[in-house]
Amino acid sequence: MFRAAASSSSASLRRSVLRQSQPWARTLSSSSSLLRPTPSDPTPPKSPTPTSSPVGASPKPDEDGTTHFGYRDIPSSSKEGLVASVFSSVASSYDLMNDAMSLGIHRLWKAHFVSKLDPRGGINVLDVAGGTGDIALRILDHARLKHIDRETKVTMLDINPEMLREGMKRIKRESMYWNTPQIDYQLGNAEALHSSMEIPPPRKGHKTLPPLKSQRTEDESVDLYTIAFGIRNCTHIDKVLEEAYRVLKPGGVFACLEFGKVNNPLLAQIYKQYSFQVLPSLGHILASDRDSYQYLVESIERFPTQQQFANMMKKVGFVLPGSEEGERRLRQEGLDGEEWGGSGQGEWEDLTGGIATIWIGCKL
Ligand SMILES: C[S@@+](CC[C@H](N)C(=O)[O-])C[C@H]1O[C@@H](n2cnc3c(N)ncnc32)[C@H](O)[C@@H]1O
């Protein structure tokens, strides 16, 4: 099994994510062509982006201290503030817009993401960039309904107080976990989980919520680290990954759901038209906010390719269980490749043709 230091909860979680052909995955993917996972290809998928556009997925900010904000090149130091203003602006309409923009498909992706991880066994989960709590709620519901597990605990962490407060309001309004030890909220920066953040004063309408908290996340304290549609908003993706690696226990799992690059040229063309023609207008009509949704669309284009992101994960030390290399590493650790590893199917899982992608990494 794992090293002695690995907790049994991490081990069972990891066993779950390492299984390649879970019956539920087949059922879910075959029941919905929109969600059908496509095995990843060892070669980088082609970006649908034309070379004439100002786009080019850049895995990290330039050495000279510039980065991108959508299509704009900006000083790295400004990105956090600009992203903050986007999410403060969209916080109250975020859930409505998510459904409208994705035609509800984001729900299928998130459900699949959580099912694939199959969280259970009283584990400690850190849901980074937790926003309005979509992933946290699904994790707690999955553990409770599928495994009668009321011990698993999720800490929702977000850099944006408005988004975090929207999440708290929702957990209070819609769930049974409010005021239970199963859920906690932290203001924090994915790039710097080693430090706490300054707490802003509560705003009107939030007076009924408990005050926000912020504290350092300790080394090797987390069994499962999730980040859904959050990492592309971070300035230094490599720092996010390093911090994820630091806070995970040996045997812990890093799981990322993010927009990928579409593989099929026809779907890529349709998706591009929809993203750039329809989404900013929807933002304008439904949330009176074209600019924020224009940024969100552009930020998807600027995110690394599936292969680039997988490489970044491996660089910080994660083992990607679906790959042949991952399987070899697992065998080196004395783990049964068949039981623990994949059959070399790929380092990521594309959903809906690569519109969204799941990457999973293990800290051995
Ligand atoms: C698109 S939302 C995703 C929310 C949620 N995970 C979901 O799937 O619905 C992105 C979230 O990332 C947060 N975020 C952006 N940069 C961050 C950072 N550096 N650290 C933590 N959260 C961040 C934003 O505040 C926002 O709530």
CA 223 to each of CA 14, 122, 137, 244, 339: distance values in angstroms, whole numbers, following the listed order: 9, 10, 17, 11, 20
**Sorting pLDDT into bands at 50, 70 and 90, what band is 13?**
low
pLDDT at 338: 47
pLDDT for the residue numbered 17: 54
Phi, psi angles (nearest 5°) of residue 357: -140, 145
Of the chain, the percentage scoring pLDDT greater than 70 comes to 79
- How does pLDDT run across 178-230, given as a tens digit for each residue? 999 999 999 999 999 999 999 988 777 667 788 899 999 999 999 999 999 99
Identify which has the larger pLDDT, 299 or 128: 128
> Tens digit of pLDDT for each residue in 265-305?
999 999 999 988 888 888 888 878 888 888 888 889 889 99
* pTM, entire model: 0.84
Judge contact between 324 and 297, C-beta under 8 A.
Answer: no
For residue 329, the CA-to-ligand 1 centroid distance in Å is 32
159 touches ligand 1 (CB under 6 Å):
yes
Which of 233, 241, 297 is the best mutation target for the ligand 1 pocket, counting ligand atoms within 8 Å of the beta carbon and taking the most?
233
* Cα–Cα distance measured from residue 145 to residue 141, given in angstroms and rounded to the nearest whole number: 6
Of the two residues 328 and 133, the one the predictor is more confident about is: 133
> Which residues neighbour 364 within 8 Å (Cβ) at sequence distance 6 or greater?
2, 3, 250, 251, 319, 329, 330, 333
d(CA 42, CA 22): 22
For ligand 1, mutation pick of 80, 135, 160, 256 (most atoms within 8 Å of CB):
160
**Which residue has tokens 């924090």?**
188
Provide the sign of the torsion angle of the four alpha carbons 249, 250, 251, 257, taken in this order: positive
Residues in binding site? 132, 158, 189-190
- Tell me: the pLDDT tens digits for 19-31? 433 322 222 233 3
Cα–Cα distances in angstroms (integers) from residue 16 to residues 13, 116, 148, 182, 257, in the given order: 5, 8, 17, 21, 17
Say which residues have a Cβ less than 8 Å from residue 341's Cβ, sequence separation at least 6.
18, 321, 326, 327, 330, 331, 335
* CB 131 near ligand 1, within 6 Å: yes
Q: Which position has the higher pLDDT, 297 or 259?
A: 259
**Torsions phi, psi for 127 (to 5 deg):** -100, 100
What pLDDT is stored for residue 119 in this prediction?
Answer: 96
Residue 73 C-beta-side C-alpha neighbours within 13 Å: 12
What's the chain's Rg over C-alpha atoms?
A: 19
Q: How confident is the model at residue 90 (pLDDT cuts 50, 70, 90)?
A: confident
Average pLDDT, the chain: 81
Domain limits of the chain? 66-260+305-363
CATH superfamily of the domain spanning 66-260+305-363: Vaccinia Virus protein VP39 (3.40.50.150)
